[in-house]
Amino acid sequence: MSTYFMSDIHGCYKEFIRLLEKAEFNCKKDYLWIAGDLVSRGIDSLKVLRYLYNLKNRVKIVLGNHDLNLISVYSGIKKNNKNNHFDKFLAASDSHKLIRWLRSQKILKIDKKRKIVMTHAGISPHWNLNIAQKYAIDIERFLSSDNFDLFLESMYDNKVTMWHSDLNGLDRLRYSMNVFTRMRSCYPDGRLNLFYKQSPKMLKPPLKPWFFMKHNFPQDYYIFFGHWSTLRGTAVPQPFFSLDSGCCWGGELMMFRWEDKKIFSQKFFSQE
């Protein structure tokens, strides 16, 4: 039995399946952890979701910003952008089943026995793991509820970027959602910058990548994340591990095997 980690498939189904074959992933024995953004940008989001749905308990997922966007588009909260390539999904007879399954997924996954953490974008430098888990559970509870659409409609906010211990209600949820699914860089006081998406090499002071901030995380944990495709070639310090190699932008899809720390990769195939 092996455990594999990957992120940001973005509907690149052909590359995804080829990578599983390279790593000799066994769907009956192995486990697959995915740090969000299963869908969007690539042309085969529907195929990716169907495959993962059929893996059942062999796949462990945390949701990314594009997964939440699909839920919002499906629910009529946001308009469908042609660049998302969601048309096939929206027209599929099993889309409702797949959306319900997506809404039941995690925002943060922690394995305390093996000392593994997985999130899509990151974890606030102001939090320890217990606090992060508490706020992730708050989001997960709303996403899986019957009022998930009202919750998502109120979550899209670029203004709540600074953590305060007295944050509560919607503002705390908005900040938490921004951290878990959108964060890349921070100011020295921990305030989030939600707009910069380029390489850290071009990041102008005083902004820093979130993983270079002083943290309250135990150093013996591995913290897996995706979301920041332009990190390619950037040295990410332990205990953090970046999984997004920008497959949907012409880069690679990458997979990390926990047991022997081996990395597998698959280059992007032309979609023409």
Q: What is the CATH number of the domain that holds 145?
A: 3.60.21.10
In contact, 109 and 136? CB cutoff 8 Å: no
pTM of the model: 0.96
Contacts of 167 (CB under 8 A, 6+ apart): 160, 175
Q: Which residues pair with 34 in a beta bridge?
A: 6, 61
272 lies in some domain: no
DSSP 234: -
Look at residue 204 and tell me if it is in a domain.
Answer: yes
How many distinct structural domains can be found in the chain?
Answer: 1
Its domain, for residue 149, covers 3-267
Residues 195, 200, 204, 210, CA torsion sign: positive
Give the CA angle between residues 141, 144, 150 to the nearest 5°: 90
With 0-12 / 13-18 / 19 or more C-beta atoms within 10 angstroms meaning exposed / middle / buried, residue 76 is: exposed
Does residue 181 sit within a domain? Answer: yes
pLDDT digits (tens, 9 = 90+) for 174-201: 999 999 999 999 999 999 999 999 999 8
User: Using one digit for the tens of pLDDT, what is the confidence trace for 107-144?
Assistant: 999 999 999 999 999 999 999 999 999 999 999 999 99
